[in-house]
Amino acid sequence: MSVKSKIKENTDKKKRKKDDLFKSQINYQLWGLFSMYKRLSLSELSDKLKKSKSTIHPYIKDYLERDIIEVKEEKQVRGNIKAKIYGFKKGYHERIFSCSNDKNCLEKKEFDKEFGNKIVRENIMKTKLYIKNLETQLKFFEKILNSGINGPDERALNILKEIYELDPAKNSMFKKKSVYSIVAYNSKDSHHLLHQMMNELVIKFNEATAGEEDEFPDLEKPYYFLSFGMPLKKMMEYLKS
């Protein structure tokens, strides 16, 4: 095999490896867990995923090889045994979603084949992640629905109350604090702030576009805007319980 062919084979292999990141359910769950918890040991991951350490270890090795995570520290467990604590490696997001903050991408003047290939691959990756998140939400609600006879059991209802935060003092049934997200993983305070800001934005947007339907009845609407907040941590924990 020529040097040129070998380079092309290695490049294609890296592209396939990157494209396949969210193909595995465990890889997807690891991404979510490291996003939510930042630092986790193999034992902690095993506990949260309800999988054996031997099952998870190859996926951790894969993440290490991809430069997504690294060993942040080693903690003494007992005797000479140390537990490795893993976390996202600096710049991990740019290595996976390489066009998001890449100066060459942001300053690109021509949409050539190379750039098109790069941006399409990145969007495939992001879409796979969105799909996995939506699948998690679907499984969560299906499990909630089937948890009791003819509907949710008491535990499931309590989880729903936590998510939707029933507020009888207000006219609306819910505070709707699980709606909208710009940042992939938010703290509770930032999530509430984002919800408030998005509500204000929606009101202004509706006012600004109120006459659009009447004035331009045949106006094309080629864009679909998808924005939502998901209590992903609670969903994943419930699905593993």
- For residues 84 and 107, state if they share a domain: yes
Average confidence (pLDDT) over 198-212: 87
Q: pLDDT band for position 206 (50/70/90)? A: confident
Among 142, 164, 185, the domain-final residue is: 142
Does residue 216 sit in helix, strand or coil?
coil
Do 50 and 163 belong together in one domain?
A: no
What CA–CA distance (Å, rounded) separates 44 from 184?
A: 22
Domain of residue 125 covers 3-142
Cβ atoms of 42 and 60 closer than 8 Å: yes
Asked if the model's pLDDT at residue 147 lies above 90, the reply is yes
> Among all chains, which residue has been given the structure tokens 């193909």?
23
Count of domains observed in the chain: 2
pLDDT at residue number 120: 82
Instruction: Look at residue 101 and tell me if it is in a domain.
Output: yes
The dihedral formed by the CA atoms of 114, 119, 121 and 126, expressed in degrees to the nearest 10: 170
**Is a pLDDT exceeding 60 seen at residue 174?**
no
In a domain, residue 148? The reply is: no
Q: Is residue 168 part of a domain?
A: yes
Q: For residues 131 and 138, what is the distance between their CA atoms, to the nearest angstrom?
A: 10
CATH no. for residue 45? 1.10.10.10
- How many Cβ atoms are within 10 Å of 140's Cβ, its own excluded? 22
Instruction: Give me the sign of the Cα torsion angle 21, 22, 27, 32.
Output: positive
